[in-house]
């Protein structure tokens, strides 16, 4: 490959899950979001990175690990439960090998899954010692992965712009936790849901964060209009922080289930699972304790086409792998043409920023990790137009960019926050704002708290942060697990108000506080003083209190 590429491609994977940890129950359905992501996305990505490193394939990727996800990955209780999840999958796959014996189509698939699950368990337990952060830190140290932070609990920050102290706390607490986990300052941040509003970027600069991402229109509607569109970052005038815009063309090819690669008929069908297909007495021990059916992760059918689930054809992993190879080549070819065309117009190397939810790769699109591996190998050896790069490295190589103020924007439906503020979830924000006001006021009143008061204040801050997770509003809009999302919002609000009421009354219940600290144990080094009232900040950002 040429030492001076025509342009660059930044592949960005955003890994995040809401903080779900229920030690008070032996089994909790929503905890399986983590176990499924570990089994189907994070471990397969580690396998890909390990193979690339073993073969000395040059590459650079960017990965968000949100603070809630990091907390769950390093939690010993959840690690043990994840081990149990993998062990049950191996047991079920073994039974499937017996049940499907002699079936020329299903028997090889059952054996395929058994081997996959055994490999995943070995990787999780032996390579990673049950903590996937170990592997990801190693990749960052080796220079092939740039790990970004996120807001502390993935709050949709524009909806809290009227409370600058709340926004600042989400950023500062996230940066502090990143330093605890990764031992260095974060260079970049994934703004949850790509939610940006004017005035946010100086708070990023205060933490020495150098770049963030917006959806395409956040850059295209910037002031003044950028000369190079989304093919170059812009520097925010008030902070010097770089804003990178999402490339629409490359995103659509991967994101879209209808027009993109994941909808191809040869790929595995997500919605056909033996958890729903097989006899309840047989599958019962591997679904919910009450017998309610759920996905097991063993799926024997491919997408096939626009047919009902009952008409899906058998899945062929080798055929799907060949299709992933073809699609990786097609994606690379399109980026070559796109970069070559853009560079001729710009007269400088363009960068294509292609961000995706990490869980798309493996969980939703089963072949996504192998597609990614094929793409990385092809980029390294089968073309000479562009290089893979991280935004931090791009800024190091190219440090002169236009000054532009990005516009308010998000990604998702319509691109202007409608998914996180609508008739299904608008009721939560009056409560969340009241919680924020109480937290800010409490932080200002307790300048020299006792040890017990400090614990209560820190736990109140945790409860506020957990209630602010954008995942709850998202779930309410999507219409899945709505009751759980509403319960989480109410539960954290109730705990915050009780903690602050107890503080005001001078009677903190230490036994109850200890219980809540154990249940909601995220962010171990949190400091409630991040919420100290700041009149100058409010004037600067136009917030009220």
CA neighbor of 469 nearest in space, from 498, 500, 435, 513: 435
| Residue 276 neighbours by CB distance under 10 Å | 14
* Number of C-beta neighbours around residue 238 at 10 A: 15
The catalytic residue among 30, 277, 340, 357 is 357
Q: What backbone phi and psi angles, to 5 degrees, belong to 242?
A: -85, 140
CA 533 to chain centre: 30
Among residues 416, 16, 368, 34, which one has the least CA distance to residue 190? 16
Q: How far is CA 327 from CA 46, 136, 153, 372, 376, in A?
A: 21, 27, 35, 10, 12
Question: Which residue reads 């998914």 in tokens?
Answer: 419
Q: Cα–Cα distance between 526 and 177 in angstroms, integer? A: 8
Rounded Cα–Cα distance for residues 120 and 118 (Å): 5
Cα(293)–Cα(91) distance, rounded to whole angstroms?
18
- Tokens at 460, concatenated: 């109140």
227: its two tokens: 């000369």
Tokens of 8: 């660059």
Q: Which of 471, 436, 469, 522 is nearest to 166 (CA)?
A: 436
Q: CB burial class (10 A; 0-12, 13-18, 19+) of residue 142? A: exposed
Contact 353, 246 (CB under 8 A): yes
Q: Which residues contact 425 (CB under 8 A, 6 or more apart)?
A: 472, 473, 476, 477
Alpha-carbon distance values, 51 to 5, 12, 47, 370, 391 (Å): 25, 19, 6, 11, 24
* 385 contacts 5 by C-beta, under 8 angstroms: yes
The count of C-alpha atoms lying within 13 angstroms of the C-alpha of 129, restricted to the half-sphere facing its C-beta, is 5
d(CA 92, CA 282): 10
pLDDT of residue 214: 98
Are 236 and 243 contacting, i.e. CB atoms less than 8 angstroms apart? Answer: yes
Check whether domain 421-541 has CATH 1.10.645.10, yes or no: no
Q: What tens-digit pLDDT sequence spans the chain (545 residues)? A: 446 899 999 999 999 999 999 999 999 999 999 999 999 999 999 999 999 999 999 999 999 999 999 999 999 999 999 999 999 999 999 999 999 999 999 999 999 999 999 999 999 999 999 999 999 999 999 999 999 999 999 999 999 999 999 999 999 999 999 999 999 999 999 999 999 999 999 999 999 999 999 999 999 999 999 999 999 999 999 999 999 999 999 998 998 767 899 999 999 999 999 999 999 999 999 998 888 899 999 999 999 999 999 999 999 999 999 999 999 999 999 999 999 999 999 999 999 999 999 999 999 999 999 999 999 999 999 999 999 999 999 999 999 999 999 999 999 888 999 999 999 999 999 999 999 999 999 999 999 999 999 999 999 999 999 999 999 999 999 999 999 999 999 999 999 999 999 999 999 999 999 999 999 999 999 999 999 999 888 888 875 44
Beta bridge partners, 243, equal 212, 234
- Radius of gyration over alpha carbons of the chain, in Å? 24
Distances (CA, A) of 199 to 154, 209, 421: 18, 15, 20
Q: Which of 146, 176, 193, 269 is catalytic?
A: 193
Contact 64, 17 (CB under 8 A): no
3-state secondary structure 98-140: HHCCCCCCHHHHHHHHHHHHHHHHHHHHHHCCCCHHHHHHHHH
C-alpha distance across the termini of the chain, in Å: 56
User: 335 with 251: CB under 8 angstroms?
Assistant: no
Kindly report whether the global pTM for this prediction surpasses the value 0.75.
yes
Would you call 193 a catalytic residue per the annotation?
yes
Please work out, in degrees rounded to the nearest 5, the angle formed at the alpha carbon of residue 366 by the alpha carbons of 362 and 370. Answer: 75
The counts of H helices and E strands in the chain are: 21, 9
Instruction: Tell me the C-alpha distance between 361 and 445, whole Å.
Output: 47
Describe the chain by its helix, strand, coil percentages, rounded to 5.
55, 10, 35
Would residue 146 show up in a list of annotated catalytic residues for this protein? no
**Where are the chain's structural domains?**
75-128, 421-541
For residue 542, what pLDDT is reported? Answer: 72
- State the Cα–Cα distance between residues 417 and 470, nearest whole angstrom: 11
What whole-number distance in Å separates Cα of residue 8 and Cα of residue 2? 12
């Amino acid at each position: 490959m040429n030492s001076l590429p025509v342009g660059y491609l930044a592949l960005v994977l955003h890994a995040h899950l809401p903080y779900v940890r229920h030690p008070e129950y032996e089994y909790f359905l929503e905890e399986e979001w983590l176990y499924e992501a570990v089994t189907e996305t994070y471990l397969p990505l580690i396998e890909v990175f390990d193979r690339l490193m073993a073969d000395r394939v040059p590459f650079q990727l960017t990965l968000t690990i949100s603070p809630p996800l990091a907390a769950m990955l390093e939690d010993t209780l959840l690690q043990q439960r994840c081990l149990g999840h993998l062990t049950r999958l191996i047991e079920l796959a073994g039974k499937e090998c017996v049940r499907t014996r002699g079936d020329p189509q299903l028997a090889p698939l059952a054996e395929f899954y058994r081997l996959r699950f055994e490999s995943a368990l070995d990787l999780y337990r032996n390579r990673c010692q049950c903590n996937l952060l170990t592997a990801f830190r190693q990749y960052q140290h080796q220079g092939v992965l740039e790990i970004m932070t996120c807001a502390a609990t993935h709050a949709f920050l524009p909806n809290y712009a009227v409370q600058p102290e709340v926004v600042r706390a989400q950023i500062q607490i996230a940066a502090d936790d990143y330093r605890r986990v990764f031992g260095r300052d974060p260079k970049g941040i994934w703004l949850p849901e790509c939610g940006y509003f004017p005035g946010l970027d100086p708070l990023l600069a205060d933490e020495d964060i150098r770049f963030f991402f917006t959806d395409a229109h956040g850059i295209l509607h910037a002031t003044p209009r950028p000369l190079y569109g989304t093919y170059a970052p812009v520097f925010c005038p008030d902070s010097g922080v770089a804003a990178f815009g999402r490339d629409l063309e490359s995103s659509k090819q991967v994101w879209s289930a209808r027009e993109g690669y994941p909808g191809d008929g040869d790929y595995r069908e997500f919605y056909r699972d033996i958890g729903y297909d097989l006899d309840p007495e047989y599958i019962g021990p591997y679904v919910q304790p009450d017998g309610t059916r759920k996905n097991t992760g063993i799926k024997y059918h491919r997408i096939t086409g626009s047919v009902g689930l009952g008409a899906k054809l058998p899945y062929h992993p080798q055929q799907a792998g060949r299709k992933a190879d073809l699609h990786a080549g097609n994606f690379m070819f399109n980026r070559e043409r796109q970069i070559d065309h853009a560079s001729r117009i710009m007269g400088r190397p363009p960068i294509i920023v292609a961000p995706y939810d990490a869980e798309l790769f493996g969980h939703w699109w089963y072949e996504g990790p192998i597609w990614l591996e094929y793409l990385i190998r092809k980029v390294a050896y089968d073309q000479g137009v562009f290089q893979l790069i991280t935004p931090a490295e791009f800024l190091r190589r190219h440090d002169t960019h236009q000054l532009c103020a990005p516009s308010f924007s998000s990604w998702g439906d319509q691109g202007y926050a409608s998914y996180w503020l609508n008739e299904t979830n608008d009721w939560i924000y009056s409560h969340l704002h009241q919680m924020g006001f109480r937290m800010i006021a409490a932080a200002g009143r307790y300048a020299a708290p006792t040890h017990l008061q400090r614990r209560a204040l820190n736990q109140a801050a945790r409860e506020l942060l957990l209630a602010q997770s954008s995942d709850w509003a998202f779930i309410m809009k999507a219409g899945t697990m709505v009751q759980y999302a509403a319960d989480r919002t109410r539960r954290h609000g109730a705990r915050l108000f009780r903690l602050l009421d107890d503080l005001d009354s001078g009677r903190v219940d230490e036994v109850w506080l200890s219980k809540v600290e154990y249940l909601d144990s995220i962010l171990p080094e949190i400091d409630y003083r991040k919420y100290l009232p700041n009149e100058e900040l409010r004037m600067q950002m136009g917030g009220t209190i």
